[in-house]
Chains A and B, each alone.
Chain A
């Protein structure tokens, strides 16, 4: 009997978590399917179906409502409804057909038997959103290590060509002179004939062990001390294979051959440092730049770096920290260049970064948020110097691609170029009388870091501030209410983002509807506990286990934050690679089914903690 139904099989196979099942299990699932048709405005499960069942929507739409009859989600073709898999869950939630619906119904018990040997699939039905997100993140982190860079990168990304060589009849001394001149620790030794075939390799270590230590005459040919059976690797190999070979054989240099001819050289340092090296290199270049023109040139590498880091499977946290560090390097260099023109500062000051740069969560070419905090010794006539500094740096940053802050939160704005005393007063008034504007300011200025100058200036303001916020429940309540206005969407419905009250949006704003709500929550937790950290993950880690946040909630939020940031990083890398503006808008049709599930889980985690925050005030 051949009852394979291609349409049904293809349909089921594309739906997570069934995409993880082998064909024979998919076939068992198909055999367990009962197709039913439910007219619109009916409550699930329909009378003809087993009550504890999984429903797969083949055509039509389901709407979920909570106890208060609020819409909590909508599901369309290819979505699965797990609401009736367990009896205990089905009471809080009502599922209704919003359109006439053709559904595949599978008895939950039968389903369990079919997927018994597939824990990942079972977990999908049993785990909470938070648990699913956690396993997704740990899987992603594992992937990052495995797929990291070296596994996927061709060795050509790392090798140097041409290779420094020396002929085999040259003396040991000539080799040493050559190495010293070039600054290399190794030379490939070639045959004397015109073919110049590689016959061995000589390193610093060989000179030390085989020549000097043995008192060998250094006028002897270099072939006396070279390593003859040198290991090589072929052009086209993976960088990972080169690293494994070098690690296993404890060698540091590996010649690369192309059709038995010497092509290039790869060293273990190149491979091991390559990830951080890019960022470090760039910072190094910035520090040496002597003009704005040079800095502008370097800034053009920033999007490329972000793309590269994203491709290498680096975490979003790592990218955010690297880009923020580079922005700081630009700022510091600009301040130094300004000082060369303007002379020394009349009194001590600190250049502050606010917002994402301060949180070390910046991505390439975001806008600049900065401020100046100046010593209380400042005299009115000094302001011109600081204005000049602010203008120079701010214009310089703009030239380097960091656009002016649309909200004018910049040191060029006199309001944000003030003495320490004034800043104390600012924070005092924001905390004491939390007006809407004050709350807006606080969300920017509670994430502050010193980029350059006297760190004590900010630290003193912050210490005083944190003692205040810790006690000011009124301020925290206002800040919370404000933060909670930014709700994540309910989920997806067909190719739309579903928001509260069933409205549809064309795109998902990853920043405002996902990342910012977590950043806001973390800030509130930190302020309520008097914690000075600004980085979101750091804030969540430090507040974990305090009255503000349980350890497991913190872990859930970190998973959600990392997942959303990762999506944003990948999205931006794609945009940048296509020479487009790196934005935060994701079209649902570009989000895979699986990613949608994880996004929904992340939204749920955020919503749970927002609700908890709401009820605590």
Chain B
């Protein structure tokens, strides 16, 4: 169902999809989210208000795997507002695999003290309302958030997404030089722009890292862009 909706977005635009989903959404956090219009497609870069978002999950499959932590930070007027930083562990109500614990460094105990998914998604929808989401490699965040909404509210909402990986890819594709896909990784791109090293796999750190990369990438290559040019 949500895959079908994806095609729908492509043809009729996000704003139409939003209005349509709004009509069928049950009253509650999702309907509230959908009630706020997305910014106009011709909004210039300098006026964009974005939420850089990062999820840590137990795996790549949005149906089987679980959301572990959520981190986000706001970009306003081309500045990252560190005070808006948010980091939340989610109680998945099941035990974590040892492999994952090594990557995310979130223990079962921390996880059990986390908040229930419904509460975190409610917070997320409130934060994201009316704002495009900024993500590096958007598949995870998009699928997991839409899947969570589908489970919680029966509807997967349209999400206006700016993907820093795609922005970099577009730029590299334009050149006639082959490149290694690993060059598109967040850490590799940051290194390319000589940005400081951050601890990977912390959702808030990664969200800030993505936001910083966006400031750099957009000022160097998308300085006169509008939202339309940036959306993936």
What is A's interface to B at a CB cutoff of 8 Å? 1-8, 11, 30-37, 39, 48-49, 58-59, 100, 102, 104-105
Given contacts A8-B82, A102-B196, 6 further A-B contacts (CB under 8 A): A2-B89, A5-B208, A7-B196, A36-B78, A37-B215, A59-B194
Which of A3, A30, A39, A48 has the largest count of B CB atoms less than 10 A from its CB? A3
Report the separation of the CA atoms of residues A49 and B219 in the bound assembly, to the nearest whole angstrom: 15
Cβ A3 vs Cβ B85 within 8 A: yes
In the A-B complex, the 3 residue pairs with the smallest Cβ-Cβ separation, listed nearest first, are A31-B83, A35-B80, A37-B215
Interface size, chain B (Cβ < 8 Å): 29
B211 touches A7 (CB 8 A): no
B86 interface residue (CB < 8 Å to A)? yes
**A58 CB → nearest B CB, Å:** 6
A-binding residues in B (CB < 8 A): 46, 77-83, 85-89, 193-196, 198-199, 202, 204-205, 208, 211-212, 215-216, 219-220
Shortest Cβ gap from A383 to chain B (Å)? 69
Q: Write out the residue numbers on chain B whose beta carbons fall within 8 Å of the beta carbon of A33.
A: 82-83
Residues in B neighbouring A8, C-beta threshold 8 A: 82, 208
| Measured CA separation A317–B129 after assembly (Å) | 67
Chain A hits for B77, CB < 8 A: 48
CB closest residue in chain A, given B89: A2
Contacts of B81 in A (CB 8 A): 34
A104 — which chain B residues lie within 8 A by C-beta? 82
Q: Roughly how many angstroms separate A54 CA and B198 CA in the complex, as a whole number?
A: 23
Tell me the nearest residue of chain A to B75, going by C-beta.
A35
B205 touches A37 (CB 8 A): no
A315 to B196, alpha carbons, bound, how many Å?
41
Are A58 and B86 in contact, with the CB atoms below 8 A? no
Pair A100/B211 contact, Cβ less than 8 Å: no
A577–B150 alpha-carbon span in the complex (Å): 71
Closest to A1 in B: B86
Residue numbers in A under 8 Å from B220 (CB-CB): 39
Residue among B78, B194, B211 with most chain A CB within 10 A: B78
Tell whether, in the assembled complex, residue B216 and residue A37 are in contact, meaning their CB atoms are under 8 Å apart: yes
Chain B contacts of A58 at CB under 8 A? 196
**Residue among A4, A34, A37 with the most chain B CB within 10 A?**
A37
Cα–Cα distance between A560 and B81 once the two chains are bound (Å): 40
Q: In the complex, what distance in Å separates the CA atom of A11 from the CA atom of B195?
A: 14
Given A33-B82, A35-B79: A2 and B212 within 8 A (CB)? no
CA distance A423 to B166 in the complex (A): 83
The minimal Cβ–Cβ distance linking B224 to chain A, given in whole angstroms, is 14
User: Cβ of B87: which chain A residues have Cβ within 8 Å of it?
Assistant: 1-4
A102-B82 contact given A3-B87, A37-B219, A58-B196, CB 8 Å threshold: no
Given that A5-B82, A5-B85, A7-B196 are contacting pairs, would A35 and B215 also be in contact in the complex, using a CB cutoff of 8 Å? Answer: yes
